[in-house]
């Protein structure tokens, strides 16, 4: 009897030890908004951000820094580090809580490849199929980064790849069970390599024939077809207009928001949901009136006045009432932009800093993905393409002059002959304490004299 009791206790201790070994690290809570770095150093590249009170799993303490993981990752078998943070800002007990939503949950309208870069010619990292929910963030140049639907940490290291935003529809799949983005048919990944904390990224699925791949790329989601047909009867809404010039569509109702699409002159779009001088923009044949389905937003003053074309319902979708003639929607009158008829006069520098002649065009405060941001739009009056080192020193001087406590400062720098409503040549991002990012877009100089310099 005594031997049986001892054997039972021994087995219990072994099970407890095995459970302890299987679940690694511990849960911690940031006591403030906390930056994530790609390495254990405050000077390392910024890759993400943690919100105050957000639960995260930490492990591998070294030199006062810990590796940060998603809280649901409990074993070393399949983990992916989201970044590194200073352990002194991560408490064992939650105190201050400032959790805010970030990114957006979307689903693909067709089968679409996940790319390694924001380029259709870059290597394939996997595939999204209709009915799959994914979380997206970090929009840039019409592309979005794809993360797992259950991701809680906003980090570039959590990114599986990139997808063209035009292939995605807003919101989770309607009327269907939510299919996790990590399902085998959504993306294939390699198992982790030997060694603690070492993780491999996503890889492309098994190769398919060219015919099968082309069929998947152009397959239309059956779910979306059923959803569109269910919206009966169709009532006229919005106003369809023809763009008289190139129109930039932004992700949000803000001049500092990222571009998501460019509408060419002569192309038709539907506008609706006017608010604060902005319109939500839809495809011209959109049938479901929902702001969540909007392509983005456009400032009313950037549209020219034209003959509005109202949308009338199709006879076959009028239900039991028959093909009655519907009343046309009331046109939305857009006042013409007084500057649209002639080219906008080029700004002139009125200040000097670090030997650079410049002009502050705009300065605005906003909140982006739960983070307070100060955006500055700067015009630099130069005759030759400035060196990157000069622009970086100039941007740092602006940061020291305009930085604000607990806010990010984003500086957009434009050169002469550039479209001031388009993307900037240089973008620099700073926290209150240090520089975070600095890069230049050579393609933004297309059409200017600086392109060939």
- Tell me the sheet residues that pair with 437: 429
Provide the mean pLDDT of the chain.
75
pTM of the full structure: 0.41
Report yes or no on 333 lying in a domain: no
Q: Assign 3-state DSSP to the chain and report helix, strand, coil percentages, each to 5.
A: 15, 35, 50
Q: Are residues 34 and 63 in the same domain?
A: yes
Q: Are residues 79 and 162 in the same domain?
A: no
> What is the Cα–Cα distance from 231 to 293, expressed in whole angstroms?
14
Domain end among 91, 122, 139: 91
**Residues 6 or more apart in contact with residue 310 via CB below 8 angstroms:** 236, 239, 240, 328, 329, 331
* Mean pLDDT, residues 190-209 taken together: 36
Q: Are residues 131 and 80 in the same domain?
A: no
Using DSSP, state whether 167 is helix, strand or coil.
helix
Q: Are residues 307 and 237 in the same domain?
A: yes
Q: Into how many domains does the chain fold?
A: 4
pLDDT confidence of residue 328: 52
Higher-confidence residue of 197 and 332: namely 332
Report yes or no on 224 lying in a domain: no
> How confident is residue 5, by pLDDT bands cut at 50, 70 and 90?
low
Cα-based distances in Å from 23 to 73, 194, 333, 405: 8, 17, 62, 38
Report yes or no on 98 lying in a domain: no
Report yes or no on 8 lying in a domain: no
Is residue 87 scored above 90 in pLDDT? yes
Q: Buried b vs exposed e over 78-111: b needs ≥16 C-beta within 10 Å?
A: ebbbbbbbbbebbeeeeeeeeeeebbbbbbbbbb
Half-sphere exposure of 104 (CA within 13 A, CB side): 17
Digit-coded pLDDT (tens) for 28-49: 999 988 899 999 998 889 899 8
**Residues 6 or more apart in contact with residue 285 via CB below 8 angstroms:** none
As a residue count, the chain comes to 453
Q: Are residues 113 and 202 in the same domain?
A: yes
Report yes or no on 174 lying in a domain: yes
> What is the Cα–Cα distance from 89 to 397, expressed in whole angstroms?
28
Domain end among 278, 305, 321: 321
Query: What strands, in cross-sheet order, belong to the sheet with 124-128?
Result: 124-128, 112-115, 161-164, 143-147, 134-140, 104-108, 168-170
Q: Are residues 63 and 126 in the same domain?
A: no
SS (H, E, C) 50-93: ECCCCCEEEEEEECCEEEEECCCCCCCCCCCCCEEEEHHHEECC
Higher-confidence residue of 133 and 215: namely 133
pLDDT confidence of residue 181: 38
> How confident is residue 254, by pLDDT bands cut at 50, 70 and 90?
confident
Question: Which stretches of 347-401 are assigned E, i.e. beta strand?
Answer: 351-353, 356-368, 371-380
Q: Are residues 132 and 108 in the same domain?
A: yes
Q: Are residues 113 and 76 in the same domain?
A: no
Under 8 Å between Cβ of 147 and 158: yes
Structure tokens at 189: 């990944």
pLDDT confidence of residue 2: 60
Q: Are residues 439 and 359 in the same domain?
A: yes
Report yes or no on 155 lying in a domain: yes
Q: Comparing C-alpha atoms, which of 185, 223, 225 is closest to residue 205?
A: 185
Peptide bond before residue 233 is cis, with ω within 30 degrees of 0: yes
pLDDT confidence of residue 37: 93
pLDDT confidence of residue 64: 93
Q: Are residues 201 and 248 in the same domain?
A: no
Report yes or no on 132 lying in a domain: yes
Residue 285 maps to which CATH number?
A: 2.30.30.40
Q: Are residues 108 and 199 in the same domain?
A: yes
Q: Are residues 395 and 439 in the same domain?
A: yes
Domain end among 302, 321, 340: 321
pLDDT confidence of residue 38: 92
Digit-coded pLDDT (tens) for 13-30: 555 545 444 567 899 999
Residue 276's domain comprises: 232-321
Cα-based distances in Å from 229 to 288, 314, 319: 10, 12, 11
Report yes or no on 123 lying in a domain: yes
Digit-coded pLDDT (tens) for 310-343: 333 444 333 444 444 445 555 555 544 444 444 4
């Amino acid at each position: 009897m005594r031997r049986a009791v001892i054997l039972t206790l021994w087995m219990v201790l072994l099970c407890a030890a095995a459970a302890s070994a299987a679940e690694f690290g511990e849960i911690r809570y940031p006591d403030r908004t906390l930056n994530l770095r790609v390495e254990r150093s405050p000077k390392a590249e910024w890759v993400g951000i943690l919100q105050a009170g957000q639960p995260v799993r930490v492990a591998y303490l070294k030199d006062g820094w810990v590796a940060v993981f998603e809280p649901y990752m409990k074993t070393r078998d399949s983990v992916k580090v989201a970044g590194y943070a200073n352990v002194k800002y991560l408490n064992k007990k939650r105190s201050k809580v400032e959790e805010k939503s970030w990114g957006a949950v979307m689903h693909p309208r067709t089968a679409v490849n996940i790319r390694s870069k924001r380029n259709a010619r870059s290597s394939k990292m996997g595939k999204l199929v209709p009915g799959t929910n994914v979380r997206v963030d970090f929009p840039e140049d019409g592309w979005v980064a794809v993360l797992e639907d259950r991701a809680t940490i906003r980090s570039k290291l959590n990114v599986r790849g990139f997808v063209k935003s035009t292939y995605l529809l807003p919101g989770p799949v309607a009327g269907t069970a939510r299919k996790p983005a990590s399902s085998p048919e959504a993306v294939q990944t390699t198992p982790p390599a030997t060694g603690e904390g070492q993780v491999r990224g996503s890889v492309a699925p098994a190769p398919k024939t060219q015919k099968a791949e082309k069929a998947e790329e152009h397959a239309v989601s059956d779910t979306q077809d059923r959803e569109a047909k269910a919206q009966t009867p169709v009532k006229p809404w919005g106003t369809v207009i023809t763009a008289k010039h190139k129109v930039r569509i932004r992700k949000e109702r803000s001049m500092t928001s990222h571009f998501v699409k460019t509408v060419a002159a002569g192309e038709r779009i539907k506008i609706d949901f006017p608010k604060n001088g902005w319109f939500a923009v839809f495809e011209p044949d959109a049938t479901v009136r929902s702001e969540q389905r909007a392509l983005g937003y456009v400032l009313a003053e950037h549209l020219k006045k034209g003959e509005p074309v109202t949308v009338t319902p199709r006879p076959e979708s009028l239900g039991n009432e028959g093909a009655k003639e519907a009343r046309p929607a009331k046109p939305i009158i857009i006042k013409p932009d007084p500057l649209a008829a002639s080219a906008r006069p080029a700004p002139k520098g009125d200040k000097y800093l670090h030997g650079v002649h410049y002009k502050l065009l705009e300065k605005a405060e906003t909140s982006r993905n739960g983070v307070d941001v100060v955006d500055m739009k700067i015009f630099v009056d130069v005759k030759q393409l400035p060196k990157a080192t000069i622009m970086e020193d100039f941007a740092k001087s602006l940061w020291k002059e305009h930085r604000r406590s607990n806010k990010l400062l984003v500086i957009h720098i434009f050169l002469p002959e550039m479209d001031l409503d388009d993307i900037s040549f240089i973008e620099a991002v700073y926290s209150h304490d240090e520089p975070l990012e600095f890069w230049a877009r050579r393609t933004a100089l297309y059409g200017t004299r600086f392109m060939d310099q």
